[in-house]
Amino acid sequence: MTGKPLTILGIETSCDETAAAVVRGSAPGPGEILSNVVFSQIEAHAPYGGVVPEIASRAHLEILDNIVDRALAEAKISLSELDGIAVTAGPGLIGGVMVGLTTAKALALGTGKPLVAVNHLMGHALTARLTHGVEFPFVLLLVSGGHCQLVGVGGIHDFRLYGSTIDDAVGEAFDKTAKILGLPYPGGPAVEAAARNGNPRAYELPRPMKGRAGADFSFSGLKTALRQLAETDISVEDASASFQAAVIDILRDRTRIAMQMFRKDFPEGNTLVVAGGVAANQAIGAGLNRLCADEDFTALIPPPRLCTDNAAMIAWAGVERLSAGGAGDALSTSPRARWPLAETTA
């Protein structure tokens, strides 16, 4: 399937967004997003302060068919006109992944189109190629509710892990901080909004792992310190700003080390791609832009709507896989709750 633009339907159900999209293009991009439909379950999970897997999977089951129909209708594309069907096969909440993968298998079987089982993290990693046509290699900072890692990306099957969290993901830390401070769910945007009116130097919070060898992250100690701070008389805005400042310091420090590791592998590389829902945080983006200026890197952050979970990134990963000459995946492909990005390396 090389040599011509491909039109791919993407399906994403790994967490609490039910999404379908149609994307057209060829590697290295940029591609054209013909439709990108996302149904958020925020209201269903808000009373619990986090995603409830059973609620999420039931919601996917109830609405996914309609979301796929909407995506095809908005793209003005029929199933017969597609070149393939891409779907998140992991990692994620296993019930939700099963819903999306089963639906995609049925569509692939019924239409005779290739099935592309996509690693959700690969979808995030390749989004900057969809939006900007960025060339390989680049260093990826993936920051979301469930993931926090630094990866050297040399190609669609060349992912080199430089560092990851040893406990909690940064997005989870934002959500827990919001809950501690009495801010609404989802916590990331709420903490960011409160921090705009706060003093980032009001409270001294720890920067776990900062200055240590390697590029691993840790956020559990920062959450514990914030919880202890919240037991005193504090300003929510100042606490939010102080927490966010600590996160930015940690991300900058760990990313700087990963850049050094990356340049040993790819001396010609000088691009940092930031992906995942936390990449939508403007203060974090500004901090990483300053780091890139210091280290002679260029930062690329996709638009906020493509940083959070969506199906356009999954469809684009399908474009990349099939453009590289892939034949698709077997209908016997199993869903995976865990699927390290490095395991996709050929």
Q: Mean per-residue pLDDT for 12-30?
A: 95
pLDDT in tens, 166-200: 999 999 999 999 999 999 988 999 999 999 999 99
Mean pLDDT value across residues 51-63: 85
- pLDDT score for 275: 94
Q: Note the pLDDT of residue 141.
A: 97
pLDDT at res. 286: 96
CA distances 79 to 35, 104, 207, 243, 269, Å, are 14, 12, 50, 47, 39
Tokens in use for 146? 């469930």
**What does the pLDDT read at residue 90?**
95
Cα(345)–Cα(57) distance, rounded to whole angstroms? 29
In this prediction, residue 210 has a pLDDT band, given cuts at 50, 70 and 90, of very high
The Cβ of residue 95 has, within 10 Å, a number of other Cβ atoms equal to 18
User: Which pLDDT belongs to residue 343?
Assistant: 81
- As a whole number of angstroms, the distance between CA 170 and CA 149 comes to 10
Mean pLDDT of the 215-233 span: 96
Q: What is the pLDDT of residues 236-245, one digit of tens each?
A: 999 999 999 9
pLDDT band at residue 346 using 50, 70 and 90 as cut-offs: low
The residue with tokens 């399937």 is 1
The pLDDT assigned to 47 comes to: 72
Q: How far apart are CA 292 and CA 262, in angstroms?
A: 14
CATH architecture for segment(s) 136-303: 2-Layer Sandwich (3.30)
Q: In this structure, how many other beta carbons lie within 10 angstroms of the beta carbon of residue 47? A: 8
Rounded mean pLDDT of 56-69? 93
As a whole number, mean pLDDT of residues 289-313 equals 95
Provide the percentage of residues in the chain whose pLDDT is more than 90: 86
Q: What is the CATH number of domain 6-129+306-344?
A: 3.30.420.40
Tens-digit pLDDT profile for residues 126-175: 999 999 999 999 999 999 888 899 999 999 999 999 999 999 999 999 99
State the average pLDDT over residues 269-280. Answer: 94
pLDDT at 342 over 70: yes
Average pLDDT for residues 279-287, to the nearest whole number? Answer: 95
pLDDT higher for 59 or 219?
219
Report the residue count for the chain. Answer: 346
pLDDT of residue 345: 61
- Please report how the helices 236-265 and 170-181 are oriented relative to each other, as an axis angle in degrees rounded to 10: 180
Give me the percent of the chain exceeding a pLDDT of 70.
98
For residue 335, cis peptide bond before it (omega within 30 degrees of 0): no
CA distance linking residue 288 with residue 169, whole number of Å: 18
Burial label for 62, CB within 10 Å (0-12, 13-18, 19+), is exposed
φ, ψ dihedrals at 221, nearest 5°: -65, -35
What pLDDT is stored for residue 1 in this prediction?
47
Average pLDDT (10-37) is: 96
Q: Where in the chain are all domains bearing CATH 3.30.420.40?
A: 6-129+306-344, 136-303
Mean pLDDT calculated for residue range 268-273:
96
